[in-house]
Chains A and B, each alone.
Chain A
Amino acid sequence: MATFTVDGKQYEAASGTNLLQAILSQSLDLPYFCWHPAMGSVGACRQCAVIQYQDAEDERGRLTMACMTDVQDGMIVSVEAAHAKDFRASVIEWLMENHPHDCPVCEEGGECHLQDMTVMTGHSVRRYRDKKRTWENQDLGPFIGHEMNRCITCYRCVRFYQDYAGGKDLGAFGSKSHMFFGRVEDGVLESEFAGNLVEVCPTGVFTDKPFSQHYTRKWDLQSAASVCPGCSVGCNTFASERYGVLKRLHNRYHNDLNKYFICDRGRFGSHFVNSQQRVRHAAVKANDGVFEYGDINTALNRAAEILKREDVVGIGSPRASVEANHALRQLVGDENFCRGLSDSERIVTDQACSILMKGGFRVPTVTEVESADVVFVIGEDISNTAPRIALAIRQATRNVSYEMAKTANIPLWQDAGVRGHAQHHRNSLYIASSNATRLDEIAEMTFNALSDGIAQISSQIASQISGASHENEFVKSVAEALLAAERPLLVTGTSSRDPNVLNASAAIAWALRTNGKDPSLLIVGSEANTFNAVVTCEGVTLGNALSRMADGANAVILENDLYRRAPAALVDSALAGTGDVIALDVVENDTLPNADVVLPAASYAEQTGTFVNYETRAQRFYQVFQPQDDVLPAWRWLSQIASLSGRTDASWTTVDEVTQSALAALPGIDATLEELAPTKDFRVEGEHRIARQTHRYSGRTAMTADVSVHEPKAPEDEETPYSYSMEGQNPGDQTGSAIPYSWSPGWNSNQSLFKFQEEVNGDLLGQSGGKRLFDVPSEPDAEVDKEFDFSVMQDTRDTTDGLLPFSVHDVFGSDELSAKSWPIAKRAKGPYVLVHPSDASALHASAGSGIRSHALVGSFEVVLDNRVQAGSIGIAVGLNGRVEIPEQSIELVIDPDFKPRQLGDERVIAKS
């Protein structure tokens, strides 16, 4: 620790931090631009100047940049000294020479770090007389707006995009006072993390394009703490609404998970909430097969009637909340409840849960992923299925650069120095995958195979670790590196649908542990609540449920498009069964038209609920705004149906009760509702609700004057600690995981975050949210391996005809709900397949050709991939609305009429 003095007051900081970070960690104000808590210092903007004194006698001191100064024990500095303040005002004056005075029409206005810093330094009178420099902007695709005139050349964008996220197509061009930040030419930003530019840019150069199209000032947004529904990582988000439209998502800091960055699926994938395809009205199918809308009670009564019958199966969903799944399970009973996973996914997910719960392996947080020293990614294209983990792996490969920096006495926060010194040196990353991945470029070695081959090579690695002697270079290298590692990390997942891959991964972890290592094992699930499996019953298989339906059983389908879960023929016959079907969902899909009762379910932003992420962390997301029309949270529909049927065991009044009931339903889970996040009874200082609206909220407008000239009464909130108004506590008095948006006096932008942290990069005051339902046993059972079948089965599929299919996941389009978000729909590719060039030429196909197969729906664009094993074909799932792929090899033909998908410009903005 170092004790240092700022303007006469003593503070403490950890040695090895820079002065700026130490000062901010004390919640003191000091303007800055180029420094970023996750990216360190480069000393470009010169904004954080302070006066440093040699000793107590020194009255003059020396101007120094806080971000480029190591905090030292006994250091004496002044933030308030006149010379430092004057210099900081000068820096703003320089930056303002060319910055347009367009704040009133700038999307950043009201949450602009440059605005805040300008006010903070006191610069107000323009003395520069020359003209301002101007630029032509670029079209960077559907996500990111570009307004270069506003640029203050802090270099944060390129440092994030290139250095941190590994992007290639955004750079710094030009020199002197003519620095341009953008692409070589117009075009879609390639990185799946481009959206972070919106938050990294301290002013309005890079803006959230979808948000700009239905723009609202930050102070007019109604926000709440939320959790991303895009994948199994469970990144924390601020979700913001106005006039019934979910306007945007921003990153919400979670110390163990996403920290400062989220991926673009998360950021731009939530506009399905506003989709014109939203199911908004309860409907009952009349005898003529036409849906009748309008009366909720008719629908509820009809549903209750169906539920009263003997044979009712309930099909849950890995994208629905813990509460909705629990309500369904309670309603239909364990023996009739299906978790809604496809049969292949169910097997692999159960295997994942079994390994998580019984294996006793360390399950790393995202933050812990960043500290791994050797990483082996096994059969999961992590950049597409859990992008935030891939970003963390990218950081993990930089740990050696910190070691090198320590040896060379380069402070670790000195970003350019650390990177420049380490050059190409990286920690070892090994990847076994069926296709090229975006992490390959930083991998030490890669291995190409289908999932069975990956499982086999992994199982050889496990035996190599345990002393066997294999010839394969990949096996030898990975085994050696993992054994030499201090913090070895294995990353795998369920997307290959092959439990062998998980078995082999667990076998490696087991082998490492028996050799004295403490490996981490991370298993990515497919959807936001896939690991709800750990809190629910085993239930029946989907195949069983579907065949019961085909045989006449009635069914309740919860937020699930069955056509994404099972072969179309099976689903068709199930839905054609004589039983009646109740379907609840958020957005229209192929299953809903076949239901007899359709109930509109609330999206995650319109309800409070819980998702269980890949580490079995149960996380609360809060209702951001009340749903309109007939829409209700699915658990509430089910609860009302239960209530009509006199089922008190399956009806609740508040979501907190459902969550408690769900947590109590499975023995072995000791998490309580209070541990997840503040409950409905939480009050700041014992009395204040947390205000969803800012204290500057514009309040009365004429937006609803066409309905009534009277201002509608703000809804009462019975279920959360928030209020639907400006009343209550605004951010500033900390509520940890329930902060609705990041704001602090003088800090209107997201840079205000440090005011909510114990220290910069530390945990949130009042802690980040969520609770792991299972913790790693401190003493793993030595016999635990006996519970697993580590053996790996050989793929015996016939490959003489055609190509063996495997599924490929695309961050944009493979996920069901985000694919229905219009920015993602614009960004996503059309259906495509990955083919080895030799197979492509055998088919007389080249990159961009179209091919089709009788076993697949529609035509696919051919994408050549050298890492695809010859004889196999990667089918991008979800892009044609289908997820299940054929098991056996398929024969393909050229589609001469194929036209590659053009980036569509149709967009769906919800009603306002």
Chain B
Amino acid sequence: MSLLDTKPLTGRVEEVGGPVFLADYEAGGGYVAAKKAITQMTPAEVIEEVKDSNLRGRGGAGFPTGTKWGFVPPGPSPDGGVKYLVCNGDEMEPGTFKDRWLISNNPHSLIEGMLIGAYAIGATKAYVFLRGEYFEPKAKLEEAIDEAKAAGYLGKGLFNTEFELDFRIHSSGGRYICGEETALLNALEGKRAQPRNKPPFPPASGAWGRPTIVNNVETYCNVPSIIEKGADWFRDLGLTEDAGTKIYGVSGRVNNPGLWELPIGTTIREIIEEHAGGMQDGYQLRGLLPGGASTDFLVEEHFDLAMDYGTIQAAGSRMGTGTMILMDDSICPVDMSRNLQHFFAQESCGFCTPCREGLPWIESLLLDIEEGRGQPGDLEVLDQNAQYIGAPGNTFCLHATGAIEPLQSALKYFREDFERHITEGRCPYRTNGSA
């Protein structure tokens, strides 16, 4: 039994012992799935297989991938226009580094996944929208693209069919909001990275007004094995309702921070205790953000929950990217919240009022509280702002909603800490006035 049977994303890297380029990739069965899809399956069959596999978007929202692909009008466009397939590699979620690892170590699985995706929706142009700072992954991906072109996996007349794919990398100018798929498309078009209103959704009108699919790196990397081994196999990989594996990551004061491909639905405790090596001596885990900075805190009562979309959502948070940030007992929740809000306020695109003006106010209030200048009533102002900014639909996109998730849950789970800051006029986590 190959490692690829249980670790479709990282197994080959483990076998090879480093980045997998074309020769190793092909030796491990690379591009067999693409050939199968393009030469033996209709686009509709590919979409059906992905739908059956219950693959859900690995960027954080968890939207069923096959369903999304099915929204693209099938066949050639009546007006002869092109369709686009875009990979969202703008991995800027704090604490998240899984896509960087995947692109750097297994670039061909991304190319092959996108090749299959492009065939499924009839796209002839594909873009990888890559985080601007990802120089190393970009170099690796470029190398892989060159290999794939030379080997006839990209370009025209692929696998001796009419199918063609123009494949390009776009390096982001560098804004967190580019991870929002419509802001990403605006940025790709050379416009301000501001989200678009939906509808129209990208499958109907995306890049340059054309039907467009945007998926996360990890999502695409899952596609080849689904086509090769089948939807049933993929579904069986998951421990719970969800299908496949997931790359989970842990950062914080654990003994062995990092990322691991595990069956989706592995419990939080298992990830932290068995894979991340447990907390470092002298530190107690108080809470964690399960899937990046824009997810609600989970606390002790949640640590035995399975990390899958439904379970974590039922606990009041989101699995998000599946890469957790741990808060131990040495960390001031107010300071951590301020740090997070600083990030989100900085990364607001500046389009709608609540996000643009509300987040800096929250940051400023948190700084006041952290530095002992908090006043009675500040928490109520925070609560009100959190409520008005955080409710989906109150802001133009979900950036502010995501920003408020860790704040609102911190105010819920660590309220005493906030109150002590205000009543004592100082941060109890600081000695001699410094942290």
Closest to B381 in A: A127
Residues of A within 8 A of B394 (CB): 46, 49, 63, 87
The CA of A130 and the CA of B365, in the complex, are separated in Å by 9
Add 15 more A-B contacts to A46-B396, A90-B385 (CB < 8 A): A46-B354, A47-B353, A63-B393, A90-B354, A94-B354, A97-B360, A175-B175, A175-B348, A176-B349, A177-B345, A408-B204, A409-B204, A410-B199, A414-B197, A421-B205
Once bound together, how far apart are the Cα atoms of A11 and B264, in whole Å? 52
Instruction: Answer yes or no: B196 CB below 8 A from chain A CBs.
Output: yes
User: Contact at A417–B197, with CB atoms within 8 Å?
Assistant: yes
Tell me if A570 is interfacial: C-beta within 8 Å of chain B.
no
Docked-complex contact A421 and B395, CB < 8 angstroms: no
Q: Is B209 an interface residue (CB 8 A)?
A: yes
Could you tell me the distance between the alpha carbons of A94 and B354 in the complex, rounded to whole angstroms? Answer: 7
What residues on B are CB-neighbors of A94 within 8 Å?
353-354, 356-358, 361
- When distances are taken between beta carbons in the complex, the residues of chain B under 8 Å from A49 are 394
Question: What per-residue 1/0 map shows which CB atoms of B372-386 lie under 8 Å from chain A?
Answer: 000000000100110
Q: Chain A residues with Cβ under 8 A from B101's Cβ?
A: none
Query: A129–B200 Cα gap in the complex (Å)?
Result: 40
Q: Chain B nearest CB: distance from A62 CB in Å? A: 7
Give the residues in chain A near B395, CB-CB below 8 Å. 46
Q: A130 vs B350: C-alpha distance in the bound complex, in angstroms?
A: 19
Closest to B388 in A: A90
Query: Which of chain A's residues have a CB closer than 8 A to the CB of B388?
Result: 86-87, 90
B351 at the interface (CB under 8 A from A): yes
User: Is B192 an interface position by the 8 A CB rule?
Assistant: yes
Residues from chain B with Cβ under 8 Å of A43 in the complex: 197, 352, 396
Residues of A within 8 A of B (CB): 42-47, 49, 62-65, 68, 86-87, 90-91, 94-95, 97-98, 127-130, 152-153, 155, 172, 174-179, 404, 408-410, 414, 416-417, 420-423, 425
Q: A832 to nearest B CB, angstroms?
A: 34
Q: What residues of A have a CB within 8 angstroms of the CB of B236 in the complex?
A: none
Decide: A176 and B391 in contact? CB cutoff 8 A. no
Q: Cα distance A410–B381 when bound, in Å?
A: 38
Within 8 A of A (CB), among B315-365: 345-354, 356-361, 364-365
Q: Are A130 and B200 in contact (CB under 8 A)?
A: no
Q: Which 8 A-B pairs have the closest CB atoms?
A: A94-B357, A423-B209, A130-B364, A179-B350, A421-B205, A176-B348, A175-B350, A421-B209
Contacts of B283 in A (CB 8 A): none
Known contacts A97-B361, A409-B200; decide if A91 and B354 are in contact (CB<8 Å).
yes
Which of B192, B208, B356 sits near A172, CB closer than 8 Å?
Answer: B192
A409→B197 CA distance, assembly (Å) = 13
B368, CB-defined interface residue at 8 Å: yes
A-B contact pairs, 26 of them (CB 8 A): A43-B352, A44-B352, A44-B353, A44-B396, A45-B353, A63-B391, A90-B385, A91-B354, A94-B354, A94-B356, A94-B358, A97-B361, A127-B381, A129-B364, A172-B192, A176-B347, A176-B360, A177-B345, A178-B350, A404-B209, A408-B204, A408-B205, A410-B199, A416-B197, A421-B209, A423-B209
Residues of chain A within 8 A (CB-CB) of B175 are 175
Q: Which of B359, B388, B395, B396 has the most CB of A within 10 A?
A: B388
Instruction: Assess whether A176 is in contact with B350, with CB atoms less than 8 Å apart.
Output: yes
Beyond A46-B394, A175-B349, whether A153 also contacts B192 by CB under 8 A is no
B200 touches A153 (CB 8 A): no
For chain B, the bracket of interface size reads 35 or more
Given contacts A90-B384, A175-B349, A417 and B396 within 8 Å (CB-CB): no
Chain A residues within 8 Å of B199, by CB:
409-410, 417
A64 to B199, CA, bound (A): 15
Q: B351 contacts which chain A residues (CB < 8 A)?
A: 44, 155
Which residue of A has the minimal Cβ distance to B348? A176
In the bound complex, do residue B200 and residue A177 qualify as a contact, i.e. CB atoms below 8 Å apart?
A: no
- State A91–B395 Cα separation when bound (angstroms): 11
The docked-state distance in angstroms from the alpha carbon of A174 to that of B385 is: 24
Note all chain B residues with C-beta closer than 8 A to A46. Answer: 352-354, 394-396
Interface residues of B in 370-420 (CB under 8 A from A): 381, 384-385, 388, 391, 393-396
CB 8 Å contact bits of B12-54 with A (1 = contact, 0 = none)? 0000000000000000000000000000000000000000000
B346: chain A residues within 8 A (beta carbon): 176
**Smallest beta-carbon distance A366→chain B, Å:** 29
CB neighbours (8 Å) of B347 from chain A are 176
Closest CB in chain A relative to B248 CB, distance in Å: 31
- The complex places the Cα of A548 from the Cα of B345 at a distance, in Å, of 79
How far is the CB of A122 from the nearest CB of chain B, in Å?
Answer: 15
Q: Is the CB of B360 within 8 A of A177?
A: yes
A421 touches B393 (CB 8 A): no
CA–CA, A68 to B208, complex, Å? 22
Q: Which residue of chain A is the closest to B385 with respect to CB atoms?
A: A90
Residues of A contacting B396 in the complex (Cβ-Cβ under 8 angstroms): 43-44, 46
B186 cross-chain contacts in A, Cβ below 8 A:
420
Q: Give CA–CA (A46, B346) in the complex, Å.
A: 20
The residue in chain B whose Cβ has the minimal distance to the Cβ of A410 is B200
Contact A410 B205 (CB under 8 A): yes
Q: Which residues of A contact B348 (CB under 8 A)?
A: 175-177
| Among candidates B192, B349, B354, B361, residue contacting A128 with C-beta atoms closer than 8 Å | B361
Residues of B within 8 A of A129 (CB): 364-365, 368
Q: How far is the CA of A421 from the CA of B205 in the complex (A)?
A: 6
Q: Which residues of A contact B345 (CB under 8 A)?
A: 176-177
Q: How far is the CB of A88 from chain B (nearest CB, A)?
A: 10
Bound together, the chains give a CA A91 to CA B396 distance in angstroms of 13
Q: In the complex, which residues of chain A have a beta carbon less than 8 angstroms from the beta carbon of B353?
A: 44-47, 91, 94-95, 152-153
**Would A130 and B209 count as touching, CB distance under 8 A?**
no
Expressed in whole angstroms, the minimum distance between the Cβ of A280 and any Cβ of chain B is 51
Chain B, Cβ-Cβ closest to A41: B197
Bound-state CA distance A64–B393 (Å) is: 7
Output the nearest chain A residue to B365 by Cβ-Cβ distance.
A129
Least CB distance, A338 to chain B, in whole angstroms: 57
CB pair A62 B393 closer than 8 Å: yes
Q: How far is the CB of B211 from chain A (nearest CB, A)?
A: 10
Chain A residues, CB < 8 A from B196? 416-417, 420
Determine the chain B residues whose CB is within 8 A of the CB of A423 once the complex forms: 208-209
Q: How far is the CB of A10 from chain B (nearest CB, A)?
A: 25
Say how far B363's CB is from chain A's closest CB, in angstroms: 9
**Separation of A767 and B346 alpha carbons in the complex (Å):** 50
- A50 CB to nearest chain B CB (Å): 12
Per-residue CB proximity of B215-258 to A under 8 Å, as 1/0? 00000000000000000000000000000000000000000000
Are A153 and B354 in contact, CB atoms less than 8 angstroms apart?
no
Q: Measured between C-beta atoms, what is the minimum distance from B345 to chain A in Å? A: 6
Do residues A179 and B209 form an inter-chain contact, with CB atoms below 8 A? no
- Residue from A46, A49, A86 having most chain B Cβ neighbours under 10 A: A46
Closest approach, in angstroms, between the C-beta of A118 and any C-beta of chain B?
13
Contacts of A45 in B (CB 8 A): 352-353
Find chain A residues with CB under 8 A from B393 CB.
62-65
Chain A residue contacts of B384, Cβ below 8 A: 90
Contacting residues, chain B, for A130 (C-beta < 8 A): 360-361, 364
Residues of B within 8 A of A420 (CB): 186, 196, 205, 209
B354 pairs with A174, CB closer than 8 A:
no
Is there contact, CB below 8 Å, between A417 and B200?
yes
A128 to B359, CA, bound (A): 12
Nearest chain B CB to A37's CB is how many angstroms away?
Answer: 19
Residue among A49, A127, A414 facing the most chain B CB atoms (10 A cut-off): A127
Cβ–Cβ < 8 Å partners of A177 in chain B: 345, 348, 350, 356-357, 359-360
Which B298-320 residues have C-beta < 8 A from chain A? none
Nearest-neighbour CB distance to chain B for A6, whole angstroms, equals 19
Asked if A422 contacts B350 (CB within 8 A), the reply is: no
Q: Which residues of A contact B204 (CB under 8 A)?
A: 408-409
